C-alpha cells in the first residue's frame, strides 16, 4: 500500500504566485522524499498526476490531503486571492478524479464548509462514508440521551425543544443531500464578486452549559 500525504498547513499562500511555487515544491518533495521519484511536470496538478502514475502498481494507493482549506482560510479577508487559490486548488484536486481508477481511497480533511465554491465539483463521495464526519439524528438521541435529559431539566424545557434548538445551530451538514449531520462549522460562501462569511462558529455556545 502506498500513501501520498499532502499537508497544506505550511504552504505559503501570501500571493497566488507564492502559493503555486510552494505547492509545486511540496509535491516535488513528497515525490523525492517518500518515493525517490523526480517529477518532470511543471504544474502542481500535473505533478500529482505524474506521481500517482509513477507509483502505480495496484489500486492499493491512498491519498491523504490534510488542511485542504488552509490556504483559502489564511486569506479569507482578501476576496480576489481567496478566489484565485480556490480555483487553483480545484484543478489540483481535480487530478485526483482523473486518477480514480488508480486510487483505492482518498481522504480530505479541513475545518470549513464551502457552499457553491465548486472546490470539489469534480469529486464524488461514496454513500457508505456520507455520515462519518458528524453525528446523525439517531446518534444524538441514543448516545447523548442522558445529557439531553439533564440539560433540558436544568433549563426547564422539553428534550424535543432542546433538540430543535441544537438543530438550528449544528444540523444540516450533508455530503449526499440525503443524510444530514450535526456538525459545528464555519460556513463560507465564495463566488465570483462575492465573499460572505456566515457564522456558525465552533466556539459559539448555544447555552452556557454546552
Higher pLDDT, 168 or 201: 168
Least confident segment among 59-63, 117-121, 181-185, 194-198: 194-198
Q: From 103, 124, 145, give the residue that closes a domain.
A: 124
**Is the domain of 111 the same as that of 142?**
no
Q: Are 38 and 31 in contact (CB under 8 A)?
A: yes
Pair 58, 102 in one domain: yes
Binned at pLDDT 50, 70 and 90, residue 21 comes out as very high
Asked whether residue 118 falls in the same domain as residue 66, the answer is yes
Q: What is the pTM of this model?
A: 0.65
160 and 84 in a single domain? The answer is no
pLDDT at residue 168 above 60? Answer: yes
User: Which residue has better confidence, 170 or 210?
Assistant: 170
The answer to whether residues 114 and 151 belong to one domain is no
Q: Are residues 47 and 98 in the same domain?
A: yes
Residue 38 scores a pLDDT above 70: yes
| Order of strands, sheet of 2-7, starting from the edge strand that comes earlier in the sequence | 2-7, 61-66, 105-108
- How many structural domains comprise the chain? 2
Angle at 125 between CA 132 and CA 202, to 5 degrees: 45
Residue-level pLDDT at 120: 63
Does 118 share its domain with 149? no
In this predicted model, which residue has the larger pLDDT, 142 or 174? 142
The residues with which 106 forms a beta bridge, in sequence order, are 63
Could you tell me if 136 and 106 lie in one domain?
no
CA torsion angle for 32, 34, 35, 39 (degrees, to 10)?
-30
Q: List, in sequence order, the alpha helices (H) in the chain.
A: 16-35, 44-54, 70-73, 79-98, 137-143, 145-154, 159-170
Q: Which of 90, 124, 158 is the last residue of a domain?
A: 124
140 and 37: one domain? no
Question: Of 56, 91, 124, which residue is a domain's last?
Answer: 124
Q: Which domain holds residue 182?
A: 132-210
Amino acid at each position: 500500500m502506498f500513501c501520498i500525504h499532502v499537508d497544506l498547513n505550511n504552504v505559503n499562500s501570501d500571493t497566488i504566485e507564492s502559493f503555486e511555487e510552494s505547492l509545486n515544491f511540496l509535491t516535488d518533495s513528497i515525490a523525492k522524499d517518500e518515493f525517490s521519484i523526480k517529477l518532470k511536470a511543471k504544474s502542481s496538478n500535473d505533478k500529482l498526476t505524474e506521481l500517482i502514475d509513477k507509483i502505480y502498481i495496484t489500486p492499493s494507493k491512498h491519498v491523504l490531503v490534510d488542511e485542504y482549506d488552509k490556504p483559502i482560510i489564511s486569506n479569507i479577508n482578501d476576496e480576489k486571492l481567496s478566489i484565485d487559490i480556490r480555483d487553483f486548488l480545484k484543478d489540483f484536486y481535480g487530478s485526483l478524479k482523473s486518477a480514480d481508477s488508480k486510487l483505492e481511497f482518498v481522504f480530505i480533511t479541513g475545518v470549513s464548509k464551502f457552499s457553491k465554491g465548486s472546490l470539489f465539483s469534480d469529486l464524488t463521495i461514496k454513500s457508505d462514508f456520507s455520515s462519518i464526519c458528524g453525528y446523525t439524528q439517531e446518534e444524538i438521541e441514543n448516545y447523548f440521551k442522558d445529557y439531553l435529559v439533564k440539560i433540558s431539566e436544568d433549563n426547564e424545557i422539553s428534550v424535543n425543544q432542546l433538540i430543535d434548538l441544537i438543530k438550528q445551530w449544528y444540523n444540516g451538514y450533508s455530503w449526499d443531500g440525503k443524510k444530514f449531520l450535526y456538525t459545528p462549522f464555519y460556513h463560507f460562501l465564495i463566488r465570483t464578486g462575492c465573499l460572505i462569511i456566515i457564522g456558525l462558529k465552533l466556539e459559539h455556545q448555544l447555552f452556557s452549559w454546552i
